[in-house]
Structures are given as structure tokens and as C-alpha cells.
Amino acid sequence: MTGGGGSRRSILGLGGGCSRALARRAAGGGPHQVIHGRGAAAVKKVRLKWVRSRGLDHIIDRDTDVKAACLLKDAIRRSHTGCLPSRSLSALQKPLGLTVPVLRFLRRYPTLFRESPHPRYPSLPTFSLADAAHLLHRRELDAHLARAPDDAARLARLLMMSNSRSLPLRALLPLRWDLGLPDDFLTSLVPTFPDHFRVERRKQDGVPCLALAAWKDDLAVSELQRINERAIAEPSYRDFKRASAMPISSPSSFLAFPMSFPRGYGSQNKVKAWMEEFHKLPYISPYEDVSGLDPESDLMEKHVVGVLHELLSLTIHKKTKRNYLRTLRDELNLPHRFTRVFTRYPGIFYLSLKCRTTTVMLREGYRRGKLVEPHPLALVRDKFYHVMRTGILYRDKGLEEAKLAAGGNPLGVDGEEGDGLDEEMEADDGDEEEEEEEEFVFLDLDDVYEHADIPANTPYVLSGLNTLNPVLIIGDNLKLIGEYEETIGTCFVFSEDESETVLVHQETGPSEANLFKDKCIVDPNQVPFRQVKPVASLDKILKFRLAANDEIQMATTRHDTTS
């Protein structure tokens, strides 16, 4: 294997995939219907290479730890004893998105989690919440209570963008953190606003859904339209420069998306020409009915950009995971490969592969590493990060937590972080080594085997594993290009133990619990078999397809740029 770099490995194998038809928005009731064919002039698209942003990646890395700490805090609070043994929390590593074991993560932040021995089993670590965690939890509740009407409005706008004006609860629940909703929003927020929501079961399959009670015209205004209205009412120099780039005769429907290209893109004439043509296309609100639009038209692509822009604008951190968007794809009329929209418009979106998942961000939401318009709940979560970093700083200096909480204000939660603490933590950021485990990638060649015969033991060269589209060359002529997909659950890589031969019968089926107990899952009718043990977990599937020569050339150029 060549190229790729880092600690990411690959395993050749087979996988499965499925394709779903593109759903169209049903006409009637509420939104205005847009009907348009192929009449608009085609916009010449420019292929842009993906460029990593270390600043935005750092934000994702930081927020992943904050989210994990908050979810662990909630899990401990739900316990009737107010504490949980580490054994009960260890299985949460993958759901929390952590790259380190949960026990190590909890011990890293003594200012949030207090460790003590189990009353019956002294060797078993048990964790409860420190005073700062209790105080921050109260701040969270206050923020939820104060912004309940705003939370209801943002949730209603998400439902208004969907085809059926409803979304399955299984698609909404993973978005609670990103939307800033309380964990119990179905029992606290939804009943408080009966004119906005109702819980019902979908007629065709009985799936529980959250439905829109009534269409709200005052909410059917996108964030881009609000930005434009503010720019007209209170113009700034930045807004003047953006408006001067548009023709004077442009109608008001030609709204331009705020752009923030990576360094080097903005000065390219072809990019400027492409974006000018793109912005000249009419802007179609994500709350309008687009069932009459040609799915392959440029207008539809701009509408998809608008839908994704609006959805990310509804989140309090202006970002979410790509997997969460996949569950909304049919309801929001997103194309099957909507990830390409993020890479095609790097001035609007940023696609990150940080923390073993794919995260999409809205570039305009951040400036110099901070949210432009922070939500009150986001400010509370910033306090969480401050307390977590304080724990690392003082843990390394050997100070006790009791000394930190002196003065009745644990770790400065109630006030501003002063006394030079932020500068000291910032200086120590570079001293802390990033702890990452080795990541394994499964190469899915299922689509390729339908068109090509690949003999066993054929040599191959794999390059660009740390890019969005790795290249796989098998033999002399077979050239493939890949795209990452998240796994559902966990796959495992096995190695044979040559030292002994044992016979283990299948008792409870092939489960993760059996695998971790070093049991071998075999057919009881088989002869004795070598014992196999899991040596790594697979966090991504890399799906390959046949590629044209120009795609290989462009991908190779991107690999050279990012390496």
C-alpha cells in the first residue's frame, strides 16, 4: 500500500449497498410550488480539490470531547445512586465518538468527574459528578428554559422543510445535541407548544413521528433571506462588497451565499466566474415546493445547496454529522450522493474527516475559531470546555480539586475566566499529545466485481487514504476511485492464533460480546478450527467504483496537494 499516510490501514473485502429513489415534495398546503424545467442556462461547474482546515478540525475535535462529557454527565445524573461504575460506561466509547477508552476519558477531566472505589468491589472504579458539573448542568437547564420559544421555532422550521411536514423520531433524536434541544424535548418542549407540534404514527408503516400542527408563514423565511434583509436594513462594508459583485439589474430573488474560500481559491478567475453564474440563478427557498423542478437542473442543485445551508443554520454549532443528514435525505429531497455538494462548494461548506466520522460545517458560522452568533447554550458548552481544560492543566500540576473550588466559584463557572488561566491553558495545548488509536478501513469492491474479474493475489496500489476520494489501482489497468461510508455498528478484523487449536460451539450467536470474550464463533457441525481473535475495529467502509482517467488524474493531484 502506498500513499495515504497516517495510521489508517485497509482491508480488502466485500460489502453491500443499496440505492433509494429520490423522493419529491408533495404539492398542496402551505408552501408555494416552483415549476421549472431545463430552460435555465447551464452553469459550467469547476472541480475544486478538498483542502483540510486545521482550525475547523480543531473545533470538531474540541466539540466532540465536550459532547461526550455532557452525555456522560447526563448518564451519571440519571443513575438513582448518582454514580456509575466504569464497567457500565465502557460500552459508550463508539456512540460517544471517542478515540480513547471511556475510563481514560473520565480520568482526564477530574474537574467534572470524581473517581472513587466501588463500595462492594474496591478494585472497580466508580464515577460521580463534581461540583462544577452540577453547576454547569443547572446552567444548561436555565438556557433551555430561557430559549424554549426559539427551540420550538427552529424545530418547526425543520419540519416545514420536509415533504410530509413530519419526521420520524428515530431521525430527530440523534439531532437533539446539534439542534440544542433538551433530552426530554418530547415530554417538555413538544407539549408546551401544541400549536406547533403533534406526535403521531405514520400511516404507511406505523413509525412514530413528530408532525407539524400548522404551517407558520412567519417561520417560512430562510436564514439566507434573513441575512439579506439585515444587510439591506443595516448595510456593512462586507455586505457592500458582496452586493457590488452582483449585477445592478439583478432581481431580489438572486441571493448570494456568503463565501469563505480556503486560501488560494478566491483569486482564481475560473472560480470567480463560476460563483458569479451560480449566484445569478434564482434562489428558491427551502420552504417552497420544488416538485416541478428537474432533479438534474442547476436550479435544483442551488435549491439543494439552500436546503443544506438552512439545515446547518438551524443547528446551534452550525455543523452536524453526515450520517444524521442521511436519515433526512428522502424527506428533504436531497440527491443520493449529496456529499458531493459539500465538496463542490467549499466556500460555503467544510467537510471534515476528524474523529473517525464525517462532519459537515457551515463556514460562515465561524470567524477566527469562534461562533459568529453564539447561542446561549453554546456559551454554556464553552464553559464546559473551560472546566475540562482547567482539569487537564491542574491535574498535570498535581493540585487537588478542593483547592480549585476554593472561594465558592468552582473553576470560574459563574464569572469570566480570568487571572491569565486561558493564556496558560492555550500555551499548554501544544504540550498535550493527541491520543488516537489505529483506524482500519474496509475496502468494498462489490460494484467492481460486477464489471471486472479480479484474480486472487493480484498486486494493488492504494493511495490517498486521508483524502475524500482514495485511488485503488489493481494490476496494470484496473483503476478505481473510492468514497467513504460510515459503518453501522462495528465490524471486526480477525487474525488466526497459530499456537493452539480449540473447538468452541456457538451458543448466543455472533455478537460483539462474544467477540470481546475471545470466543470463536463457528458452526458446531464443523471440525475443530483455529481460534480467531478480534485485533481491530473497522470504523469506515471505503466503497470503490470504476473510474475514468480524468478522475484518477484529478484525485492524484489532490493527493499530492494534501500530502
> Which tens digit of pLDDT belongs to each residue from 69-107?
999 999 999 998 899 998 888 888 888 888 889 999 999
Residue 265's pLDDT is 63
The overall average pLDDT reported for the chain is 74
The domains of the chain are located at 40-146+222-437, 147-219, 440-562
Average confidence (pLDDT) over 443-471: 73
Q: How far apart are CA 478 and CA 449, in angstroms?
A: 11
| Helices and strands (DSSP H and E) totals, the chain | 21, 19
Q: How far apart are CA 125 and CA 103, in angstroms?
A: 9
Average confidence (pLDDT) over 149-155: 96
532: helix, coil or strand?
A: strand
Half-sphere exposure of 202 (CA within 13 A, CB side): 13
Average confidence (pLDDT) over 408-424: 50
Span 498-533, pLDDT tens digits: 443 333 333 333 333 333 333 333 344 443 444 444
Burial (Cβ within 10 Å: 0-12, 13-18, ≥19) of residue 410 = buried
Instruction: Grade residue 123 by pLDDT with cuts at 50, 70 and 90.
Output: confident
Span 22-36, pLDDT tens digits: 233 333 345 554 544
Residue 492's pLDDT is 45
Instruction: Grade residue 439 by pLDDT with cuts at 50, 70 and 90.
Output: low
- The residue with cell 462529557 is 69
CA angle at residue 280 from 331 to 223, to 5 degrees?
A: 45
Beta strands 439-444 and 529-546 are parallel
Residue 251 has pLDDT above 90, yes or no: no
Beta strands 366-367 and 370-371 are antiparallel
Q: Which helix (H) or strand (E) holds 392?
A: helix 376-397
Residue 232 has pLDDT above 60, yes or no: yes
Mark out the alpha helices in 147-261 (DSSP H runs): 148-161, 169-172, 176-179, 189-192, 223-233, 237-244
DSSP state of 219: G
Neighbours of 271 (CB within 10 A): 18
Residue 102's pLDDT is 92
**CATH of span 147-219:** 1.10.10
Torsion angle of the four alpha carbons 22, 28, 34, 38, in this order, in degrees rounded to the nearest 10: 50
